């Protein structure tokens, strides 16, 4: 379970770094771009991708290209969600995105729907509704952004997970698919930053590059330790899945409430608790 714990720590650390970006005057877009350079290099060094397999027939290039575009753009949405809605709600929304991939498994991939999974989906949707609800006392801009960005994170990571399943179905080795996704995401992210450089005179800074290095280490660590957790407990995939997702929501709650004094209504807190229950029910299913 040590690998799962390390994966949880890395996942929450990503949100903490995004939360601290404004305080340290970091350019989040630049940090995200540098993050994919770090992730690409680490994938090449540690996961031993086989680029030749990408020349095989049946490689789902449409899904890979879509992932290359979505990964950096949804990362920006996650950064905005952390800034406006807080770590707790953003991490929970990201973890609940598995509901969309489960629905896709039933509709697109022919998986059977069990009572546990149906109950987990219902609880998850209720949890998401509670988490994005903002009271009328909140400022209008904060209320709109605090509800919109977690929904974008939920939808975006759900679509990304569905595309991951499509790539896995095609038989592309994991290290190779990750290398292709990260390389494409790197090109898209830097293209976005070059556009900002030309049209908005945004300058690249060493401070944001260092932040991107740390972000890339945490982001890749999350993936690597999660994979090693599954490899260490091959007979207990549901345990790894539940521990990872519930751990991120629980630790995100502690960090958000204790370190950043995030304000949540009782309904929001009830939504987070429901999210933990929903993940547990889905793992049981």
Q: pLDDT for 198-234, tens place per residue? A: 988 888 999 999 999 999 999 999 999 998 888 888 8
pLDDT of residue 141: 43
**pTM above threshold 0.85:** yes
Average pLDDT value for the chain:
89
Q: Could you give the CA distance from residue 89 to residue 93 in angstroms, rounded to a whole number?
A: 6
Q: Could you give the CA distance from residue 4 to residue 91 in angstroms, rounded to a whole number?
A: 16
Residue 168 makes CB contacts below 8 A (sequence gap 6+) with: 174, 177
**Range of lowest pLDDT (62-71, 93-102, 218-227):** 93-102
Here the tokens at position 121 are 């989906």
pLDDT of residue 168: 85
CB 255 within 8 A of CB 12: yes
- Please compute the mean of the pLDDT values over residues 61-67 and round it to a whole number: 95
Q: Could you give the CA distance from residue 86 to residue 280 in angstroms, rounded to a whole number?
A: 23
Here the tokens at position 41 are 């290099």
User: By C-alpha distance, which of 135, 116, 72 is closest to 266?
Assistant: 135
DSSP 203: P
Q: Could you give the CA distance from residue 217 to residue 35 in angstroms, rounded to a whole number?
A: 8
Q: Could you give the CA distance from residue 9 to residue 38 in angstroms, rounded to a whole number?
A: 18
How do the domains of the chain map onto residue ranges?
2-284
CB 270 within 8 A of CB 130: yes
User: By C-alpha distance, which of 210, 269, 191 is closest to 20?
Assistant: 210
Q: How far, CA to CA in Å, does 170 sit from each of 47, 65, 98, 163, 285?
A: 19, 15, 20, 11, 25
pLDDT band at 140 (very low <50, low <70, confident <90, very high): very low
């Amino acid at each position: 379970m040590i690998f799962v714990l390390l994966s949880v720590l890395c996942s929450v650390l990503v949100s903490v770094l995004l939360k601290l970006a404004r305080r340290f005057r970091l350019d989040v877009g630049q940090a995200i771009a540098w993050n994919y350079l770090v992730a690409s290099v680490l994938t090449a060094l540690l996961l031993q991708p086989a680029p030749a397999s990408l020349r095989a027939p049946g490689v789902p290039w449409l899904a890979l290209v879509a992932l290359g575009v979505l990964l950096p753009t949804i990362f920006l949405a996650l950064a905005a969600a952390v800034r406006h809605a807080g770590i707790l709600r953003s991490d929970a929304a990201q973890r609940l995105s598995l509901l969309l991939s489960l629905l896709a498994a039933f509709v697109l991939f022919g998986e059977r729907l069990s009572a546990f999974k149906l109950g987990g989906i219902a609880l998850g949707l209720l949890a998401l509704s509670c988490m994005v609800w903002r009271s009328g006392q909140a400022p209008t801009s904060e209320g709109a952004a605090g509800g919109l960005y977690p929904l974008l994170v939920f939808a975006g990571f759900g679509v990304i997970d569905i595309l991951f399943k499509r790539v896995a179905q095609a038989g592309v080795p994991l290290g190779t698919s990750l290398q292709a996704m990260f390389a494409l995401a790197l090109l898209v992210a830097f293209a976005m930053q070059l556009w900002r450089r030309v049209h908005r005179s945004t300058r690249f800074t060493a401070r944001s590059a260092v932040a991107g290095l740390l972000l890339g280490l945490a982001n890749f660590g999350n993936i690597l330790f999660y994979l090693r957790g599954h490899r260490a407990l091959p007979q207990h995939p549901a345990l790894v899945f539940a521990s990872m997702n519930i751990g991120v929501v629980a630790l995100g709650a502690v960090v958000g409430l204790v370190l950043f004094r995030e304000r949540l209504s009782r309904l929001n807190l009830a939504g987070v608790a429901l999210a933990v229950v929903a993940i547990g029910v889905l793992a049981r299913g």
